[in-house]
Chains A and B, each alone.
Chain A
Amino acid sequence: MTPHDLWILLTAVLVAASLGFVGCFLILRRLAMVGDAISHSVLLGIVVAFLLTGSTGLLPMVLGAGAAGLLSTWMVELLRRAGVQEDAATGISFTAFFGLGVVLLTLHAGDVHLDTQHVLFGDLVYVPFDILAWRGWELGPRAVWTVGGALLIAGLTTWLFFKEFKVIAFDPAFAAVVGLPVAWITWLQTGLVTLVTVAAFESVGAILAVAMLVAPGATAFLLTDRLESMLGLSVLVGVPAAVAGYGLASWFDLSIAGATATMAGLLFALALLLAPHQGLLARWRARRRTPA
């Protein structure tokens, strides 16, 4: 293990942790595909931010991506109010954003040094080469700071609003009746999803971001009935998936993002089979014990 490997691993672990627990709320609120939609819409924001500022600096990228993520969520809401059903509204808005992003990207292909692949598949391999420096001090890879910061903000927000998040996750109608600002909290959660996805984006790419947003939470959902344990478990599932994915990828020289997504899927499949109460095996045995 060189420091090089350690930085990559640390980034992967931070990504897994931040996406995992934010994803739990998406799963409980039945918004899992919104993560996919946001991660595609973000391309437009990144391209526009680059065309406006001419830099691939962190701040313009994150601001552009964040704005695009929220705009596409807003477009979904707009379409929904006009009578388009929710799944279709989601699909329409993210494909439109992505399409516009690709067109802009190819129109300015000459002067844009952003390629679609890097945006969509960001690669952990490059993480240690992009060092954040401040007054001559090397503070470690930029990605560690970005993802770590996003994790901190998401963690603090969830801690502050835990009760609200919990009520809305399980009983939005009740939450509305007791006067909780359901719409605002949904926006807050969408904002958090956008934040952690965008932060994870440049180091792991869009697709792994979606995998780590959904797979650990879904695995945890099969293992427990309590929200608190689900949040903890999602991190406990995400981190080993990241470590195993990294190990597999460096062993066989594969894409780290792809291998991690595969490992996360494998852990989910194991839980689906073997979970103590929700697993297929446990369900089958329970059914056999109680003859209908």
Chain B
Amino acid sequence: MTWEALILLLNSPNARWVLAGSLLLGAGCGLLGTFALLRRRSLMGDVLAHAALPGVALGFWVTGAKSVAPLLVGSLVTGLLGAAAVDGITRHSRIKEETAQALVLSVSYGMGVVLLTVLARTGLGGQSGLNRFLIGQAASLVRSDVLVIGGAALAVTLGVLLFFKELKLLAFDPEFGAGLGLPMALMDRLLMGLVVAAVAVGLQAVGVVLVAALLITPAAAARFWTERLERMAILSAAFGGLAGVAGALISLSRPQLPTGPLVVLVATGLLLISMAFGSSRGLVVQRVRQAGIRRRGLAGGTPVRWEGEAS
């Protein structure tokens, strides 16, 4: 893409809305993903995205509208139900967390598909709704959509900033947090609630499968660069925002290119670069460090780890 083409692109108001939406979404999800990652809840994003389908279908059905807001509310409701189901099954039976996740994901998705077939028959266009749900519709975001997405992304960001200290404890040492008298179970639910909100918003833009990546990949990439939570959170938000903008630019540069998958591929590229060259845990640095240890004749030598974090 030449500079003139880029400037021409940026002059179109629609492109600017798409870019703004992708930036806000990427940054908000990146920030939140830091905590989901450290709490080992990365895959919950994927689960909740699928659990949102029945809600999307219901929102569509009740209002018959194709605007973002009712779909958002629907996916919030069933997303929260899905989170509660995973939590309940894990807590009250011997079913393990991953099994409960896969179960809730696939069964609620099945229910959603059933609802969509009902919708398709009533002529409300379940098929187009489904397509949109699958790969998102970032390229056709309009001003009102971006306002909703931006507002929600901002709310998620504020939520994280407000409870930063509590979420930090939750990520590293929930027992210590509970010992301090902080309601750690409630904080865990808050984190899941924020993830539900982020997923409900992300769905609109990048679709059900790829929204999980917005929460996971930037955070995992940031992890290679630092051992400090604050830096990791900022970096993760920056990677997410960068992936959002770059992905949107690439997809706008050629017609027919879907935004969501490109955002995810840019994020994956950032992850691979970080994995190789990350200044804290990157493969190159690890090699150099190991060679140094060997030269000095010290036995063993493990990279520094955060307390409470397994290798």
Chain A positions within 8 Å of B, measured between CB atoms, are: 27, 30-33, 35-36, 40, 79, 82-85, 87-92, 94-96, 98-100, 102-103, 106-107, 109, 116-117, 120-121, 207-208, 210-211, 213-215, 217-218, 221-222, 253-255, 257-262, 264-265, 268, 272, 278, 280, 283
Please choose the segment from B41-49, B68-76, B169-177, B188-196 that sits at the chain A interface, where 4 or more of its residues have CB less than 8 A away.
B41-49
Q: Considering the chains assembled together, what is the distance between the CA atoms of A132 and B110 in angstroms? A: 29
Q: Given A87-B43, A99-B268, A259-B114, are A32 and B262 also a contact pair (CB < 8 Å)?
A: no
Q: How far is the CA of A253 from the CA of B111 in the complex (A)?
A: 14
Beta-carbon contact of B113 and A121 below 8 Å? yes
Q: A33-B43, A36-B105, A258-B114 in contact; A95/B216 too (CB < 8 A)?
A: yes
Contact, CB under 8 Å: A95 / B213: yes
A40–B102 alpha-carbon span in the complex (Å): 13
B209 partner, pick from A98, A106, A213, A262, beta carbons under 8 A: A98
Q: Is the CB of B110 within 8 A of A214?
A: no
B95 / chain A contacts, CB cutoff of 8 Å: 218, 221-222, 272
> Which one of B15-23, B24-32, B178-186, B252-260 is at the interface?
B252-260
Separation in Å of the A169 CB from the closest CB of chain B? 13
Stretch at the interface among B129-137, B141-149, B160-168: B129-137
CA–CA, A84 and B37, complex, Å: 10
Known contacts A36-B102, A272-B89; decide if A30 and B96 are in contact (CB<8 Å). yes
Q: In the complex, what residues of B have CB within 8 A of residue A264's CB? A: 107, 110
Please state if B261 and A100 are interface contacts (CB–CB under 8 Å): yes
Given contacts A91-B43, A92-B220, A106-B258, contact A259 B135 (CB under 8 A): no
**Contact between A84 and B223 (Cβ–Cβ < 8 Å)?**
yes
Q: Are B257 and A103 in contact (CB under 8 A)?
A: yes
Known: A84-B220, A96-B213, A211-B106. A278 touches B283 (CB 8 A): no
When the two chains form the complex, which single residue of B105, B117, B265 contacts A99, counting CB atoms closer than 8 Å? B265
A82 and B275 in contact (CB under 8 A), knowing A106-B256, A261-B111, A262-B107?
A: yes
> Is A107 a contact of B92 with CB atoms below 8 Å?
no
Output the nearest chain B residue to A35 by Cβ-Cβ distance.
B102
* Top 6 A-B residue pairs of the complex, sorted by shortest distance between their CB atoms: A261-B110, A265-B107, A258-B113, A95-B213, A211-B106, A99-B261
Are B130 and A117 in contact, with the CB atoms below 8 A?
yes
A103 — which chain B residues lie within 8 A by C-beta?
257-258, 261-262, 265
Is B311 close to A, CB under 8 A?
Answer: yes
6 residue pairs of the A-B complex, CB under 8 angstroms, read: A84-B223, A84-B275, A89-B220, A90-B43, A99-B264, A218-B100
Chain B residues, Cβ within 8 Å of A82 = 275, 281, 283
Q: Is B219 an interface residue (CB 8 A)?
A: yes
CB-based nearest A residue for B38:
A85
Which of the residues A27, A109, A260, A278 comes within 8 Å of B99, measured between beta carbons? A27
Q: Give the nearest-CB partner of A221 in chain B.
A: B95
Q: Which residues of A contact B219 (CB under 8 A)?
A: 88
Nearest-Cβ distance from residue A277 to partner chain B, whole angstroms: 10
**How many angstroms between the C-alpha atoms of A109 and B131 in the bound complex?**
15
Q: Which residues of chain A come closer than 8 Å to B96, judged between CB atoms?
A: 27, 30, 32
Among B110, B112, B217, contact of A208 (Cβ-Cβ < 8 Å): B110
A102 and B40 alpha carbons, distance in the complex (Å)? 27
Q: Are A214 and B216 interface neighbours, CB within 8 A?
A: no
Q: Which residues of A contact B283 (CB under 8 A)?
A: 82
Q: Is the CB of B114 within 8 A of A262?
A: yes
- Whether a CB of chain A sits under 8 angstroms from the CB of B121 is yes
CA distance A99 to B281 in the complex (A): 26
Contacts of A79 in B (CB 8 A): 220, 275
Contact yes or no, A96 B275, CB < 8 A: no
Min C-beta distance of B151 to chain A, whole Å: 26
Residue of B nearest to A214 (CB): B102
Q: Does B228 contact A (CB under 8 A)?
A: no
- List 15 extra interface pairs beyond A91-B212, A99-B210, A117-B131, CB under 8 A: A94-B209, A95-B209, A96-B264, A99-B265, A99-B268, A117-B130, A208-B110, A255-B113, A255-B114, A255-B117, A261-B109, A264-B110, A268-B107, A272-B89, A272-B93
Question: In the complex the two chains form, is A258's CB within 8 Å of B216's CB?
Answer: no
B103 near A278 with CB under 8 A, answer no
* A-chain residues with CB within 8 Å of residue B42 when the two chains form the complex: 85, 87-88, 90-91
B94 adjacent to chain A (CB < 8 Å): yes
Q: How far is the CB of B227 from chain A (nearest CB, A)?
A: 12
